[in-house]
A = this chain, B = another copy of it.
Amino acid sequence: MAAKKLLILPGDGIGVEVMAQVRRIIDWLGKRRKIEFDLSEGLIGGASYDVHGTPLSDGTLAEALAADAVLLGAVGGPKWDNLPFQFKPERGLLKIRKEMGLFANLRPATVFDALAEASTLKAEVVAGLDIMILRELTGGLYFGEPRGIETLPDGSRKGVNTLVYTTEEIRRIGRVAFELARKRNKRVCSVDKANVLECTVLWREEMIKLQQEEFQDVELSHMYVDNAAMQLVRNPKQFDVMVTENMFGDILSDCAAMLTGSLGMLPSASLGAADASGRRRALYEPVHGSAPDIAGKDMANPLATILSFAMCLRYSFDLAEEADMIEAAVKAVLKGGLRTADIMQVGKAKVSTTVMGEAVVREL
């Protein structure tokens, strides 16, 4: 069997440093488990703009489309903040999501036992938390047309974006939500603003239909997005799978990630539609950003990216055993008391990105 194609895109800021730690694990897989990848590395975001004048070159996009999976670090930084809109690092990320058709963004918000105290929420509110936020990723307000800024006859300006969903887009993300719930606690909470936005009235109606037609074994509830933001703070453990629109999902998943206290620990997966052989295009990335303030200082937490790689092994490469091993190694290292600066607690040992990466490999 040909080795699986894995494309690594470290991106900007701490993306580069944390990805270097994943490389150690890839080496370990080769040496100790005889697992080889057809590995390549490319540029995205500001790093790509600096070399190619675009945040995502055609060459890199072609490689991503041909890959079995893509592992991404993070994009963005002050250096590129003042670029025109279409050259911003984020455009590269949005383009690769869109072109790869990655409509389903899985963002687990879990609390690691060793870190429950790190949350700003009371430990009893978050301890043991394990919810899955499923964000629609290629539609909605992020991609709707018309969009842009127009100058009016009187010299003033008008800015427009469009929130739009079709039946088909809603049903395909709904299906992923229900399927995920089947493997978990069989409860889906669909988040919308159906009391104000017609687009989300459609969202709610289609979710209800889909559940009745295909997923009667899964419980479906609905919540307005403002209430969902409140309920995440009040009692996050009430949720199992939460599914929502792109922009809402961006906000709610970051809120949920922060309340775990484990932001530097959270992986994510973005999946496309399954092809005839059941294979899905897939991109894995940590939930955290490029953290320009600590970039290059060997301070960043590599665990979210390492865990994203574990997700990649599990979902794209059918290597559940190795994924389990990596996840167990991460837990063991935390239990042993090692902490990067972001999750540092009194009485623990503060270590660098590199030392943390080495510790995981040693544990393996």
A122 at the interface (CB under 8 A from B): yes
CB proximity of A285 to chain B, nearest CB, Å:
14
Chain B residues with CB below 8 A from A226, complex form: 250-251, 253-254
Interface residue? A120 (CB, 8 A): yes
Bound-state CA distance A206–B158 (Å) is 11
Whether the pair A159, B164 counts as a contact (CB closer than 8 A) is yes
Chain B residue nearest to A88 in the complex (CB): B195
Chain A, range 84-99, C-beta contacts under 8 Å to B: 85, 88, 90, 94
Q: Which of A56-64, A142-150, A347-355 contacts the other chain?
A: A142-150
A198 touches B149 (CB 8 A): yes
In the complex, which residues of chain B have a beta carbon less than 8 angstroms from the beta carbon of A147? 197-199
**A248-304, CB < 8 A from B:** 248, 250-255, 257-259, 263
Q: Are B199 and A159 in contact (CB under 8 A)?
A: yes
In chain A between 101 and 154, which residues have their CB closer than 8 angstroms to a CB of chain B? 120-122, 125, 141-142, 144, 147-149, 152
B247 touches A259 (CB 8 A): no
Give the complex CA separation of A235 and B259 in angstroms: 11
Which stretch, A11-19, A26-34, A165-173, touches the partner chain B?
A165-173
In the complex the two chains form, is A197's CB within 8 Å of B141's CB?
yes
* A346 smallest CB distance to B (angstroms): 15
- Known A122-B122, A251-B226: A160·B163 in contact at CB below 8 Å: yes
Q: What string of 1s and 0s marks CB contacts (under 8 Å) between A197-236 and chain B?
A: 1111111001000000000000000000111011011110
Main secondary structure of the interface of A (DSSP, over half): helix
Contacts of A168 in B (CB 8 A): 156
Asked if B251 contacts A233 (CB within 8 A), the reply is: no
- Given that A120-B122, A196-B90, A199-B160 are contacting pairs, would A255 and B255 also be in contact in the complex, using a CB cutoff of 8 Å? yes
- Closest CB in chain B relative to A327 CB, distance in Å: 24
List of B residues within 8 angstroms of A255 by Cβ: 229-230, 232-233, 255
A5 to B255, CA, bound (A): 42
Cα-based distance from A85 to B199 in the complex (angstroms)? 12
In the complex, chain B residues whose CB is within 8 Å of the CB of A4: none
Q: Which of B90, B159, B198 contacts A202 (CB 8 A)?
A: B159
In the assembled complex, A183 has its CB within 8 A of some CB on chain B: no
Closest to A247 in B: B193
Contact residues in B for A225 (Cβ distance below 8 Å): 250-251
Q: Tell me, yes or no, whether A357 is within 8 Å of chain B by CB.
A: no
A280 CB to closest chain B CB, in angstroms?
Answer: 23
Q: Please give, as numbers and ranges, the residues of chain B lying within 8 Å of A229 by CB-CB distance.
A: 229, 251-252, 254-255, 258
Measured between alpha carbons, how far is A230 from B251 in the docked complex, in Å?
8
Q: Is the CB of A198 within 8 A of B85?
A: yes
Determine how close the nearest CB of chain B comes to the CB of A288; give it in whole angstroms.
10
Which residues of B have CB within 8 Å of A258?
Answer: 229-230, 233-234
Q: Which B-chain residue is minimally distant from A94 (CB atoms)?
A: B196
What are some 11 contacts across the A-B interface (CB < 8 A)?
A122-B122, A141-B141, A142-B196, A152-B166, A159-B199, A161-B199, A193-B247, A230-B255, A233-B233, A233-B258, A251-B251
